[in-house]
Amino acid sequence: MRSKVLFLPVIMAFVTALAGCTPTAMEGRNVFSSDYRAVSDAGYHLPRVPISKVPKKYHRQVVTFETKEKPGTIIVDTREKFLYLILDGGKALRYGIGVGREGFQWSGVAHVAMKREWPTWTPPATMIRRQPELARWAKGMPPGLANPLGPRALYLFQDGRDTLYRLHGTPEWYSIGQATSSGCIRLMNQDIIDLYKRTRIGAKVIVKR
């Protein structure tokens, strides 16, 4: 699907307000955000993203987006490296993403079965076989800045089963727009925090290749 980005010059105070506004408050606006400041969250300090080094198309922004899917649906375009949260009125909140490298992609329709703040990460057995050094985390890696899932994770299930794919954060802002992960969809830490609070349990997720 194609989207047409509509930019609106904003003053700093308005950009700051964007980080805390709800989808309802944003409807009808065409908003672009460069607010990726440092965040203190649950006792952790997430550093500022040097957002000027990230292509603007991957910054969080409201875009025109025509779809028959209901508001609250998440559509992941792995080819273009965008994640869309559908809003009312032909709009969507778009985030830049990093996706799975060749051989690790997944596509299909799933739903968000769980949401976790500062989640534990447990590498799948197949990953441990490829990278034996990860065996130390076979029972789970504690939350923290070094945890690959970052500050938030949305767990994708299909037909009642865990797909093992997640929407999660990453401190590796430079990987956004790239195909480098082991299959999961990664967002900048500030973006996954934003998406997390806007997404409900049971939300439909469509992953396209």
For the chain, what are the domain ranges? Answer: 4-208
**Distance between CA atoms of 101 and 105, rounded to whole angstroms?**
7
Q: Looking at residue 149, what is its pLDDT?
A: 95
Length of the chain (residues): 209
Q: Which of 11-15, 81-85, 89-93, 101-105 has the lowest mean pLDDT?
A: 11-15
45 is catalytic: no
DSSP H helices in the chain: 12-18, 23-26, 125-130, 189-198
Task: Domain 4-208: give its CATH architecture.
Answer: Beta Barrel (2.40)
Q: Model pTM greater than 0.75?
A: yes
Q: Which of 61-65, 136-140, 155-159 has the lowest mean pLDDT?
A: 136-140
21 is catalytic: no
- Sheet bearing 108-117, strands edge to edge: 4-5, 61-64, 91-96, 82-86, 74-77, 204-208, 108-117, 152-158, 161-170, 185-188
171 and 94 in contact (C-beta within 8 Å)?
no
Quick: pLDDT tens for 166-190.
Answer: 999 999 999 999 998 766 899 999 9
- Annotated catalytic residue within 21, 45, 59, 184: 184
Q: Which of 14-23, 156-165, 182-191 has the lowest mean pLDDT?
A: 14-23
Q: Looking at residue 16, what is its pLDDT?
A: 38
- Annotated catalytic residue within 21, 45, 111, 168: 168
Quick: pLDDT tens for 20-55.
Answer: 333 333 433 445 566 899 999 999 999 999 999 999
